[in-house]
Structure 1
Amino acid sequence: MQRLARSYLLYLTIMCFTALIPNAAVALQVSTQTQLANVYEENAAIPVSNYLVSEKYDGIRAIWTGKHLLTRQGNRIYAPKWFTAPLPDVWLDGELWTSRQNFEALSAIVRTHIPEQERWREVNYMVFDMPDTELPFAQRYKNYSSLIEQINAEHIKPVKQQRFHSNHELSKHLQAMVENGAEGLMLHLATAPHQSGRSDALLKLKPYFDDEAEVIAHLPGKGKYTGMLGALRVRNQQGIEFSIGTGFTDAERTNPPPVGSIITYKYHGYTNNGVPRFASFLRIREELEDE
Structure 2
Amino acid sequence: MIKATLFTFLTLISTGLLAQLPPVQLANVYDETKHEDIRQYLVSEKYDGVRAIWTGKQFVTRQGNSINPPDWFTAPLPDIWLDGELWTKRGQFSVLSGIVRTKIPNDLQWQTVTYQVFDMPDTSMPFHRRYQNYLSLITKLNSPHIKAVKQYQFSDNQQLSNYFNQVTKQGGEGVMLHLAEAKHTTGRSSALLKLKPYLDAEALVIEHLPGKGKYAGMLGALKVQTKQGLTFSIGTGFSDKERKYPPAIGATITYRYHGYTKNGLPRFASFLRERPEK
TM-score above 0.5: yes
CA spacing shift, 1:222–1:106, aligned 2, 3 Å: closer
Correspondence for 1:231 among 230, 233, 237:
233
- Deviation track 1:201-232 (CA, whole Å, cap 9, x = no partner) reads 100000139xxxxxx999897889xxx98437
Residue 272 (structure 2) aligns with:
277
Partners of 1:171 and 1:40 in 2: how far apart?
A: 12
Which sits farther off after the overlay, 54-63 or 25-34?
25-34
Correspondence for 2:48 among 53, 58, 61:
58
Partners of 2:179 and 2:66 in 1: how far apart?
A: 29
Map of 1:204-219 to 2, 5 A cutoff?
204-208=194-198
CA shift for structure 1 position 174: 0.5
CA shift for structure 1 position 234: 6.8
Q: Structure 1 regions of 5+ residues with no counterpart?
A: 1-19, 210-215, 236-241, 254-263, 268-275, 279-291
CA spacing shift, 1:75–1:221, aligned 2, 3 Å: closer
Residue 213 (structure 1) aligns with:
none
SS at structure 2 position matched to 1:139: helix
Give the letter for the 2:120 counterpart. M
Runs of 4+ that moved beyond 4 A: 24-27, 216-224, 232-235, 244-253
Residue 38 (structure 1) aligns with:
28
Contact 1:134/1:194, CA 8 A, preserved across alignment: yes
CA spacing shift, 1:45–1:155, aligned 2, 3 Å: closer
Residue 163 (structure 2) aligns with:
173
Give the letter for the 1:68 counterpart. Q
SS at structure 1 position matched to 2:66: coil
Residue 247 (structure 2) aligns with:
none
Partners of 2:123 and 2:109 in 1: how far apart?
A: 36
Which sits farther off after the overlay, 166-175 or 130-139?
166-175
Residue 93 (structure 2) aligns with:
103
CA shift for structure 1 position 176: 1.3
SS at structure 1 position matched to 2:154: coil
Aligned-residue Cα RMSD (Å) equals 3.7
Corresponding position: 1:132 with 2:125: no
Partners of 2:29 and 2:225 in 1: how far apart?
A: 29
Residue 163 (structure 1) aligns with:
153
CA shift for structure 1 position 142: 0.5
SS at structure 2 position matched to 1:28: coil
Which sits farther off after the overlay, 25-34 or 37-46?
25-34
Q: Structure 2 regions of 5+ residues with no counterpart?
A: 1-9, 200-211, 214-219, 238-242, 244-254, 274-278
Contact 1:208/1:266, CA 8 A, preserved across alignment: no
Give the letter for the 2:130 counterpart. R
Corresponding position: 1:192 with 2:182: yes
Map of 1:243-262 to 2, 5 A cutoff?
251=263
Corresponding position: 1:86 with 2:76: yes
Partners of 1:135 and 1:223 in 2: how far apart?
A: 39
Partners of 1:231 and 1:98 in 2: how far apart?
A: 31
CA spacing shift, 1:167–1:83, aligned 2, 3 Å: same
Contact 2:198/2:256, CA 8 A, preserved across alignment: no
Give the letter for the 1:58 counterpart. D
Percent identity, aligned pairs only, is 49
Residue 77 (structure 1) aligns with:
67
Which sits farther off after the overlay, 37-46 or 161-170?
37-46
Residue 4 (structure 1) aligns with:
none
Residue 265 (structure 1) aligns with:
268
Residue 259 (structure 1) aligns with:
none
CA spacing shift, 1:169–1:120, aligned 2, 3 Å: same
CA spacing shift, 1:155–1:29, aligned 2, 3 Å: farther
CA spacing shift, 1:248–1:114, aligned 2, 3 Å: same
Partners of 1:113 and 1:80 in 2: how far apart?
A: 10
Corresponding position: 1:118 with 2:108: yes
Partners of 1:204 and 1:87 in 2: how far apart?
A: 27
Query: What TM-score does the superposition give when structure 2 sets the normalisation length?
Result: 0.71
- Deviation track 1:54-104 (CA, whole Å, cap 9, x = no partner) reads 000000000111111111111110010000000001100000000001000
Give the letter for the 1:164 counterpart. F
Partners of 1:142 and 1:202 in 2: how far apart?
A: 17
How many residues get paired? Answer: 229
